[in-house]
Structure 1
Amino acid sequence: MKVYTTENVRNLALVGHSGSGKTNLTEAMLFQSGAIQKIGHVDEKNTMSDFSKEERERGSSIGTSIIPVEWRNKKLNIIDTPGTIDFIGEAQGALRASEAVLMIIDATAGVQVGSERMWKYTEKIGLPRIIFVNKIDGENVNFRALMEELEDKFGKKVIPFSVPIGEGEDFVGVTDVIFQKGYKYTKGAPEDAPLNHDQVKATERMYEEIAEVVAGADEVLMEKYFSGEKFTREDLLRGVTEALVAGDAVPLLVGSAEKGIGIDILLNTIINYMPAPNHDQAHIGFRYESGEERQVSPDQPYSAVVFKTITDPFVGKISIFKVLSGKITKDTALYNANEESPEKMGGLYIMRGKEQMAVDEIYAGDIGATTKLAHTLTGHTLCDKAHPVLYKMMKQPSPVIYYAIEPESKGDEEKISTSLHRLQEEDPSFVIERNPETKQLTIGGQGSVQLDVILEKLKNTFGVATKKVPFIIPYRETIKGKTEVQGKHKKQSGGAGQYGDVWIRFEPCDEHFIFAEEVFGGAVPKNYFPAVEKGLEEAMEHGVLAGFPMTGVKATLYDGSYHDVDSNEMSFKLAAALAYRKGIEEAKPILLEPIMKAEVSIPDEYLGDVMGDMNKRRGRILGMDQKADGTQVLIAEAPQAEMYEYAIDLRAMTQGRGSFTMEYARYEEVPKDIAEKIIADHKAE
């Protein structure tokens, strides 16, 4: 593949609901451009963008892939993203590297939840968008009704740039609204199709919508429009691009990726109107943090950000980066600004799916790859050491679901941790945690599909078979009452003896543990106070109900006795432990459970179901709020034990339109009937 300069590059994130046809569209674009001679199909497991074993087995994208398409002396970097919400971290990384978004809508299904989510997110970050309505040839398609739905969901700024000639079984081609010409397709090849009177009039009305948008770009175009002067090609190019960048217009095009209909008009629209990386109002996904600020220009010192890492079983680590300034050549000395460390490049490539195409140089705004970087992770900045710059790392979404896992083979315990961290280089949106209390290994992410894929990769890539195990809830024990008890350890049967005697008052407190002393007259020498405190601290690691750690206890040493010869630190530690056991049992011990605070965002129509479900989880509704778009935000608290599967259940209740965040709030007493069962189950183990 030849080298492209900045102004001839377009970076486009491909987004849409799972199953809308993103992968098929990339195949159609590659075929239309002549890059491939045969279109791959998802069900035949031979597409360019879905190349991993897990993707081909599932028949859907689970990771970002780069598909460069050459069209009319321009290079389109199509960044294909997964459509499942579980992989939102992948999609967000792709959006950072893009100046625009191509959103696919399935004409047979309408606006689905994945597209709604992406629309809101891209609206929030200000990315220009193009909509491609795919599968116009599908059953029961009604384009007019679909346009009404799109305008209802996304607003009047959605403007048709092409419309179908026929629909469903009768779909044979498209009308290009700007050039007011019709085209029919045979095996993806267009030929002129005359428009009838009604089609001409409809096309003229739609062109007028585009003309109004163009007129708003500047005063010169506005004057032309009101004087009735026809816009030139240059006027259209400038006006539409400015409207796109400003978010005032979203071109809508139609077609069939499967039949290759409308793909050429889509490609023309992208290269004509989507902003180049050096457009003065282009979206900036990688924000400057420190060092020398840069422009998207080949004349600046080079800098780049790695936005995707692939772990290949044969090649090793592949780092995919976007050049943000200057240019990178195959001989460039790389420097990792995050680690303050030089890196040695293992070759310079353009990626097409898993295919690596060697190049000599990559200009600012373009996307490239290299291998074998020792210190570089996703999000790291590469730059000229003499001209340092650092770009901000992307904040990953907080996990909403966790699995507790362990290897099927005990011999793989060390290997599983190493392998998970290798996979985290590829997907930094999942977390790995080892609970210091329960000793359980957990992984957390955005959904069960994401975590299932991680377990599949552990087995397929690293040969580590795992199994999910029940979560061990980190319960605590505390006391509600106050008591005074004696703890006496005495062992005097000849030889060196042991003697420790303490009187301790136990009572509740707000801190984890308070040790105090009120000993008078030297009943217990001061040098044994630390031993008493240590004995209590060690004893508190296990409560008296079910062995869970004890918390919220104040222990006051107020009396006791000692022996001049037989007393020592160990004797007083043991005496304190005896007092602890007896005192806690008398001080009304109770079981505590962790409580989580959740913020649940849902469409209004699901509010009743979600509130009812939260009550079933022993939850408490703290309040509600409403966002500007009508989304309801439910603020609630619920026990952690009831929330592990909440991500799955919420999606089922809201047809995938609900989302939530969750964080630890505090510990609270477990209801008596539930506590009795937990204690009984724990004692039975």
Structure 2
Amino acid sequence: MSTIQEISRRRTFAIISHPDAGKTTLTEKLLLFGGAIQTAGAVKSNKIKKTATSDFMEIEKQRGISVATSVMTFEYRNMKINILDTPGHKDFAEDTYRTLTAVDSVILVIDCVKGVEEQTERLMEVCRMRDTPVIIFINKMDREGQAPFDLLDELEAKLNIRVRPLTWPVNMGSDFKGVYSLYDKTMNFFRINKTKVEDDVVEIDINTPVLDEKVGERDAAQLREDVELIEGVYDSFDRQPYLDGKVAPVFFGSAVNNFGVKELLDTFCDISPEPIARATDKRVVKPEESKFSGFVFKIHANLDPRHRDRIAFLRICSGTFERGKFYHHTRLDKDIRFASPFSFMADSKSLVEEGFPGDVVGLYDTGTFKIGDTLTEGEDLQYTGIPSFSPEIFKELVNLDPMKAKQLDKGIQQLTDEGVAQLFTLPIGNRKIVGTVGELQFEVIQYRLEGEYGAKCRWTPMPISKACWLTSDDKRKLDEFVRLKGMQIAYDKDQNPVFLAESDWILRMNIQNNPDIKFHTTSEFKTAVEA
């Protein structure tokens, strides 16, 4: 098969949602329909003592939430589908934002009971910034929720995108009878089945008496009326506005019951984008180019705690990746090779001989990589748009066991390399300050430091409001500012100076009083704070 054919059959997407909307459950059911797993275990089910396939970290299994992006690959309808299941919890939003740089489209999961929630809006804003194509799956239709038309209006109002339903429910809650596909004119009748794939799909003309026999006269009449209204109010579905990120197709179902998932997956295969071109600091790189390039969007330490491994997740953007071949690490300006690259099914891995644009490859890392690093077949370029943001909460890391100082230092270095938090060092006393966007990250880091590195710690809150990276065209003035503000200056892992402001007022005053110093809110040094 040619490289162009391989590219055309790749589909790489992320599943995003507010916590508890059913995102991880939907991921697992997509794997079930794709044949990647044979039996699904309902997340948080008391009867089935099995955690979701994509939640493989111990703390995720205990808490029932996703705190790290998982990568899974399976074949379906002669397509290679790469799913990136992201954290839903707002405290891990930065991991999700970076993951969105590595995908070509998104499936957004909405809880039909709660509708559009705060984190849903924040995630959608990121998608809108890049015009990422979005498909919406309205979940939990087996529960009593908001009326479907009300949900569609809420989606358009809060997410700032036009919608177009491609399936439509017959009732909801205890009276839920199924969904009608407006896309291929079939009816899927609802049945509860949480662990296996069974369909009751029939091609049906909804204007015939057969529908009345199947769902009852009242519900058949309501479906006909709803379909007529949809076809009258909404434009007919056109793939191009979806690919442009202007229109979001909408599906209804119940992921925990495997219901409505097949319609979603089949239509996704029909309409979703192939791997797209991506921007670098030099030019736009197209996937069909012959020379390999890709970027690291995630790093995970101790994926297998028994082997203390550290894996960098690489998104292939162009050309063909080959095992054992030397590639150029543009930041370090050196060539490196990979003897054992892997593809993923959650926590299980399989050796990769070659990979194509759209694929996500796991590379064993000995500390060579940072998030955003670029590999090429010789060309000196850097993929852009994968920054670290200024944290919102800052705490000092305090060692509780002096005998484990080395383990603690190694652990916090590796865990912050993953991007779930940022590490700043105050030169005076070599104090380590960890910054995050949420409290839960501190709990996860503390748990993993003890469980994976045998190091115990506690956190001391710091009176810091904002961290800003510092640059200046005048090195002398930057050095002088750093000297004068010594108690408020820390250094990130790349030894870049960072100003730790105790309040927004103090930050504004320093910006006004130092016009030759640039204060940046992201590590890409592109967005300076406005005074």
Gaps of 5+ in 2: 205-209, 212-219, 466-479, 488-499, 510-526
Choose the corresponding residue for 2:200, options 190, 202, 216.
Answer: 190
Paired position in structure 1 for 2:497: none
Of the three residues 294, 297, 300, the one matched with 1:307 is 297
Q: Which has the larger radius of gyration?
A: 1
CA distance in 1, matches of 2:183, 2:64: 37
Counterparts of 2:381 and 2:181, CA distance in 1: 45
Q: What is aligned with 2:174? A: 169
- TM-aligned CA deviation for residue 381 of structure 1: 0.9
Query: Which has the larger displacement, 436-445 or 157-166?
Result: 436-445
Q: Single out whichever of 124-133 and 405-414 deviates more from structure 2.
A: 405-414
1:620 is displaced (CA, Å) by 13
Give the residue type in structure 1 aligned to 2:503: M
Instruction: Give the partner amino acid of 1:370.
Output: L
Contact 2:16 2:87 in 1 (8 A): yes
Q: In the alignment, what sits opposite 1:9?
A: 10
Within a 5 Å distance, the mapping from 1:395-544 to structure 2 comes to 395-427=387-419, 429-437=420-428, 440-469=431-460, 471=462
Give the Å deviation of 1:402: 0.9
Distance 1:664 1:111, change over 3 A: closer
* Matched AA of 2:301: T
Q: 1:596 aligns with which of 475, 482, 503?
A: 503
Task: Report deviation, 1:664.
Answer: 13
Shift in CA distance, 620/383, structure 1 to aligned 2, threshold 3 Å = closer
Among 103, 113, 118, the alignment partner of 2:118 is 113
SS of the residue 2:21 aligns to: coil
Mapped contact 1:133–1:253 kept (Cα < 8 A):
yes
Distance 2:394 2:530 in 1: 14
Q: CA deviation at 1:354?
A: 1.4
Partner of 2:495: none
CA offsets 1:363-408 (integer angstroms, 9 cap, x no match): 12222222245512221111113x4433236211111101122111
Q: TM-score, normalised by structure 2?
A: 0.79
SS at match of 1:405: strand
Q: Is the 8 A contact 2:464 2:503 kept in 1?
A: no
Matches within 5 A, 1:285-300: 286-290=278-282, 294-297=285-288, 299-300=289-290
Deviations 1:32-73 (A, max 9, x none): 222211102332452221001121122100011112242211
How far did residue 293 of structure 1 move? 5.5
The SS at the match of 1:418 is helix
Q: How many angstroms does 1:621 deviate by?
A: 12
Flag the structure with more relative contact order, 1 or 2, with Cα contacts below 8 A and sequence separation at least 6: 2
- Opposite residue 167 of structure 1, the aligned amino acid is M
1:121-150 deviations in Å (ceiling 9; x for gaps)? 211221111110010111345333323322
Q: 2:137 maps to what in 1?
A: 132
Q: What residue in structure 2 maps to residue 361 of structure 1?
A: 354
Deviation at 1:213, TM superposition (A): 4.8
Query: In the aligned structure 1, how far is the partner of 2:311 from the partner of 2:507?
Result: 47
CA shift digits 1:102-127 (9 cap, x unpaired): 10001121111111111222112211
**Structure 1 residues 411, 156: CA separation in 2 closer, same or farther (over 3 Å shift)?**
closer
In 2, the alpha carbon distance for the partners of 1:370 and 1:473 equals 36
What residue is the counterpart of 1:265 in the other structure? 263
Instruction: Name the count of aligned residue pairs.
Output: 458
* Structure-2 change in CA distance of 1:168 and 1:360 (3 Å): same
Separation in structure 2 between the aligned mates of residue 664 and residue 594 of structure 1, nearest angstrom: 15
Identical aligned residues as a percent = 25
* Native 8 Å contact 1:597 1:662 kept in 2: no
> Corresponding residue for 2:156?
151
Query: Partners in 2 of 1:258 and 1:183 — Cα distance?
Result: 16
Deviations 1:267-304 (A, max 9, x none): 01211111111xxxx4x5x52113x763211x511111
Q: Give the equivalent residue in structure 1 for 2:95.
A: 90
In structure 2, the CA distance between the partners of 1:595 and 1:403, relative to structure 1 (3 Å rule), is closer
Report if the CA contact (8 A) 2:404-2:454 is conserved.
no
1:323 alignment partner, SS class: strand
Equivalent residue letter for 1:47: A
Counterpart of 2:250, as a letter, is L
- CA deviation string 1:510-555 (max 9, x = no partner): xxx9xxxxxxxxxxxxxxxxxxxxxxx9xx99xxxxxx99xxxxxx
Supply the RMSD in Å over aligned alpha carbons: 3.2
Q: Compute the TM-score of the two structures, normalised by the length of structure 1.
A: 0.62
Q: Assess if the C-alpha contact under 8 Å between 1:177 and 1:207 holds in 2.
A: no
CA distance, structure 2, for counterparts of residue 154 and residue 327 of structure 1: 37
Runs of 4+ aligned residues of structure 1 deviating over 6 Å after TM superposition are 619-622, 661-665
